[in-house]
Amino acid sequence: MVVFHAVLPFVLAPLLAGLINKTKAVFAGRRGAPLLQPYYDLGKLLGKGAVYSATTTWIFRAGPLIGLAATVAACLVAPLGGRPGPLSFEGDVILFAYVLGLSRFFTVIAALDTGSSFEGMGASREVHFSTLVEPALWLGLAALVRITGQFSLHGVFSTLSPDVWTAHAPALALVATAFGIVFLAENARIPVDDPNTHLELTMIHEVMVLDHGGPDLALIEYASALRLWILGSLVVGPLLPQSGEGWEAVSFVAALAALAVATGVVESTLPRLRLLGVPKLLVGAGVMSSLALVLALV
Amino acid sequence: MPEILLLFLLLAGMFVILSGGAACLLVRTPGAARRLGAASVVAGSLLGILPAIAILLGGGPISAETDWAMPFGRLSIGLDALSAWFLLGILGLSAVSALYSLDYSRREHTHGRTGAREFLFSALVLSMALVVVAQNALLFLLAWEVMALTSFFLVTSESEKESVRRAGWIYLVASQAGAAFVLVLFLLMGRESGSTDFDAWIGLAGRWAHPSALFVLALVGFGAKAGFMPLHVWLPEAHPAAPSHVSALMSGVMIKTGLYGLLRVMLFLGPPDPSWAWALLALGATSGVLGVLFALAQHDLKRLLAYHSIENIGIIALGLGLGLMGIATERPLLAAAGFAGGLLHILNHAIFKGLLFLAAGAAVQSTATRDIDRLGGLLKPMPRTGFSFLVGSIAICGLPPLNGFVSEALIYYGALRGMVDGLPWPVASAVVLASLGIIGGLACACFAKAFGVVFLGSPRSAAAEPPKEAGTWMQAPMFILSGACLAIGLAAPVAVGLVAPVVEQITSTFAQPSSAVSGLEGIARSISVASFILLGLLLLLAGVRFLVLRGRPVRGAVTWDCGYAKPTPRMQYTASSFAQPLTHFFGGFLRTRAHGGRPEGLFPRPTAAFSSHTPDVCTEEAYAPLFQGALALFSRLKGFQHGRLQLYVLYVSVTLLGLLILKLR
């Protein structure tokens, strides 16, 4: 059972991306790619050779490896339903945030390694937005720690019994909303970034990985899928009261799927923000987190 | 080990450093002076570091004292856990910096003053060691002044440059102003206790007449050395001006002697007031966030690193502030986590900042420029230097699996712990969490910029000669320090075990249960497990990719140029453009200034240019007006001093006459 829980995210994560795309297709009146398309893409990319720019160094090749290794480590910390992650410990929220930072750091320097001005532009935007996400993330976590008195992600989410949940519903809703914005920003979704944009000049995340191909791109895509899963679990966690039943993993996965569908709806109905407008959204998330903290304190 | 042997090792180490340095003055050939100076610092440091390690591993404190000619006290030195912790960093970093200088100084112009520079370096190392082992205020002040003066002379090594003379001047003024506060502090404490011996002061703990006033004096005096914002203005001037191995030493350990002084005085003062903790937290948050912001806006590689020292001093202050808060509110685990995190970060910062300055020094020496925007692609000609700089960058950003993460995680953990206790401590914790989060994000941005622009991509300007990899003696120290970064990251429980006696010394002085540090073992063990898993995953994935790519075509090509026919290296993103969104967003604090004109018209003239620079707000807005005002005030006294001998004789006679009348009356 434990092994099943540990393996589940690694198997199901690409499905979330498929769900988002399917939702968007439905909204656009298309039939869309099959739900399992992300798996086919990964398989195809893994079957290819590699092309490396002559400007690049070993940093460019190490970027996808470290990016995925760090994301997997974050995945090992993240809880699933009422179950702790295999690597869960008291204070694991710190590790969770910082391995994601490690992954981002190497994505950014791998982009700079190509010497392309477009990839530099994407890298610059990435570090800008991710810096503004930090206060929202940490103040939100602080509010959750305050409410539950627990120091690990599993502890926090498994303490949210229906009683605790009803007592702190406004604060939890604010945290979930703030984390929802963090989720959209960190996963490069609309309204922060558009994964389907076709112009290098307007991209953020996609432009950073422009020069990666073949198995390297597969690693990057898989890491993105995992990030969708683990940051999604941060959004779902505060919204789902836990009672310690065995079927909670099922409801958890269902909630993640619903989140993916909601993301697809957001992407179909909202325009992308202007780049200068994004910081306002992210600071807004920080304000919501601090408000949640204030509510949790009184 | 017997106490007398440890004492002997300590004194022998200091003697070796002193005599080796003095002998350098007598040696004529520069090469021999360099080797003698480096060898004596390395040998002396290795001798002196042994007692420090022995004490941190659980040995009791050692001390020695004797009579001397100074009044109100005895010549006494001692090594307790707190001193040993700082001594470990000072001597460790001194040894590797001395090794580095073997090759580094060979390529610098020393104007025939190699011997003098080696002597000054040895004297700086010795005085820093003496500052942390002194157990008497006069000895402490003596060492403090020697440390300030030797480092001043080392900073002004290239005194033929105008900018270096200015930097040296600012440094001298700042360090003497800080020392004045320390002097007043020690005078007040000496008057109240009737002795200059630290032993007498610790006996008065909790019974001082005005402890908060003493704390403020210590905060200003020692804070000027440590580089708390807004007392930091000398750091970004002095660190870039100094030779790189001296910058490493100054930034890595010399500024920490300010923190040592602050901690030592807090032990004398006894039970802390919560307001002290708030002051440290406020200073820490300000220094941390503004330090990294200003770092982000710099184009000068060594100036950027200097601002990061201010940021890290801020992080340390946040940790120490949390620890103090834990003591003031009697929460042992909060105190343990805060102090352990802060103290460990002191050592960690010495390691990775030393590493970064050494690597930056190698890059600057081989390219002859500190301007990041003119560099690029250095990882290819200088792979080992580049690798070391990368390790230092990851460590300073606090990313796992390196040492910076361990100490920052402890501070985070303390802040999370403080979150669940009663009001108003959660507010302090929230301040720490939010500041650390922003600092972390900005530090990653800044080092992605520094490493990415300097070492990756293509060169942005044609160098006079192709850059060459640093010499062996410069590489070895970088590898030693990189290894230390990884070792502390992987062996976090060992590091926490080493710092435990220091934390226990502090908490037991304030009559807190000392066993709380063991509550940190769990998180330390988990961090090291996670670090090993991270490395294991990395190896696994590298193996998978190797197997997948085996037998498949792996080709080289050009970077995807988005259809541009002729991209040039100058079209790459520069450091300024990379940081622009963030510097624009925080423009209210930074006040970056742009120069140059836009291209205008259909056929723009080739004179259109753009450049920007970010001067220090505190220097410009606070200190410059202050010193201008002082200058205007004192220039009124100029009338008395115009070089006419007759008038001077008149002053003397009038004064004498006045004294005579006063006496006769």
Separation in Å, CA B172 to CA B131, B148, B169: 18, 8, 5
pLDDT tens digit sequence for B215-255:
999 999 999 999 998 889 999 999 988 999 999 999 999 99
Neighboring chain A residues of B579 at a CB cutoff of 8 Å: 124
Among B393, B433, B574, pick the best mutation site for testing chain A contact (most A Cβ within 10 A).
B433
Closest residue, chain B, to A213 (C-alpha): B554
Looking at per-residue pLDDT, the higher value among B392 and B559 belongs to B392
Contact B559 A211 (CB under 8 A): yes
| Rounded (5°) CA angle B152-B153-B155 | 65
Neighboring chain B residues of A132 at a CB cutoff of 8 Å: 441, 585
Contact A215 B438 (CB under 8 A): no
Neighboring chain B residues of A56 at a CB cutoff of 8 Å: 559
**A72 close to B (CB below 8 A):** yes
Average pLDDT, chain B: 89
> How close is the nearest chain A Cα to the Cα of B505, in Å?
25
Q: Across the interface, which of A50, A54, A124 has its CB nearest the CB of B558? A: A54
Structure confidence at residue B596 (pLDDT): 78
Closest residue, chain B, to A136 (C-alpha): B434
Residue B566 has pLDDT above 90, yes or no: no
Contact B545 A127 (CB under 8 A): no
Contact B560 A53 (CB under 8 A): yes
pLDDT tens digit sequence for A30-64:
998 999 999 999 999 999 999 999 889 999 999 99
> How close is the nearest chain B Cα to the Cα of A31, in Å?
31
Looking at per-residue pLDDT, the higher value among B54 and B519 belongs to B54
How does residue B496 score in pLDDT terms, banded at 50, 70 and 90?
very high
Kindly state the tokens that stand for B153.
């002379």
Q: Report d(CA A109, CA A129) in Å as an integer.
A: 16
- Give the other-Cβ count within 10 Å of A41's Cβ: 18
Contact A114 B545 (CB under 8 A): no
Q: Report d(CA B431, CA B319) in Å as an integer.
A: 12
Residue B601 has pLDDT above 90, yes or no: no
> How close is the nearest chain B Cα to the Cα of A23, in Å?
31
Residue A237 has pLDDT above 90, yes or no: no
Domain ranges of chain B: 583-593+613-633
Neighboring chain B residues of A283 at a CB cutoff of 8 Å: none
Average pLDDT, chain A: 89
Contact B559 A125 (CB under 8 A): no
- Averaged pLDDT, B148-174: 90
Q: Report d(CA B292, CA B306) in Å as an integer.
A: 10
Neighboring chain B residues of A104 at a CB cutoff of 8 Å: 444
Q: Across the interface, which of A50, A102, A112 has its CB nearest the CB of B452? A: A112
Contact A108 B529 (CB under 8 A): no
**A66 close to B (CB below 8 A):** yes
Domain ranges of chain A: 2-297
- Averaged pLDDT, B373-402: 93
Contact B419 A87 (CB under 8 A): no
Kindly state the tokens that stand for B624.
């410059």
Residue B100 has pLDDT above 80, yes or no: yes
Residue B450 has pLDDT above 90, yes or no: yes
Neighboring chain A residues of B427 at a CB cutoff of 8 Å: 297
Structure confidence at residue A116 (pLDDT): 87
How does residue B340 score in pLDDT terms, banded at 50, 70 and 90?
very high
Looking at per-residue pLDDT, the higher value among B39 and B590 belongs to B39
Residue B513 has pLDDT above 70, yes or no: no
Residues 6+ apart with CB under 8 A from B325: B274, B277, B278, B281, B331, B334, B335, B338, B418, B425, B428
How does residue B110 score in pLDDT terms, banded at 50, 70 and 90?
low
Structure confidence at residue A246 (pLDDT): 65
How does residue A2 score in pLDDT terms, banded at 50, 70 and 90?
low
Residue B1 has pLDDT above 60, yes or no: no
Count, residues in chain A: 298
Lowest model confidence (mean pLDDT) among B152-156, B430-434, B555-559: B555-559
Restricting to A residues 176-205, those with a Cβ less than 8 Å away from any Cβ of B are 200
Cβ atoms B178, B231 nearer than 8 A: yes
Q: What percent of chain A has pLDDT over 70?
A: 98
Among A98, A100, A108, A146, pick the best mutation site for testing chain B contact (most B Cβ within 10 A).
A98
Structure confidence at residue A29 (pLDDT): 93
Range among B212-226, B412-426, B453-467 rated most confident: B212-226
| C-alpha closest to that of B123 among B19, B247, B251, B10 | B19
Residue B200 has pLDDT above 80, yes or no: yes
> How close is the nearest chain B Cα to the Cα of A182, in Å?
14
Query: What is the helix (H) or strand (E) element at residue B589, kind and residue range?
Result: helix B587-590
Contact B523 A91 (CB under 8 A): yes
Contact B456 A115 (CB under 8 A): yes
How does residue B489 score in pLDDT terms, banded at 50, 70 and 90?
very high
Cβ atoms B494, B418 nearer than 8 A: no
Kindly state the tokens that stand for B527.
């961090």
Contact A133 B533 (CB under 8 A): no
Residue B422 has pLDDT above 70, yes or no: no
- Averaged pLDDT, B498-516: 82
Lowest model confidence (mean pLDDT) among A22-36, A83-97, A237-251: A237-251
Structure confidence at residue B59 (pLDDT): 79
Structure confidence at residue A229 (pLDDT): 93
Residue B466 has pLDDT above 90, yes or no: no
- Averaged pLDDT, B369-381: 89
Residue B497 has pLDDT above 60, yes or no: yes
Structure confidence at residue B151 (pLDDT): 93
Looking at per-residue pLDDT, the higher value among A140 and B613 belongs to A140
Cβ atoms B500, B517 nearer than 8 A: yes
- Averaged pLDDT, A173-197: 90
Residue B444 has pLDDT above 70, yes or no: yes
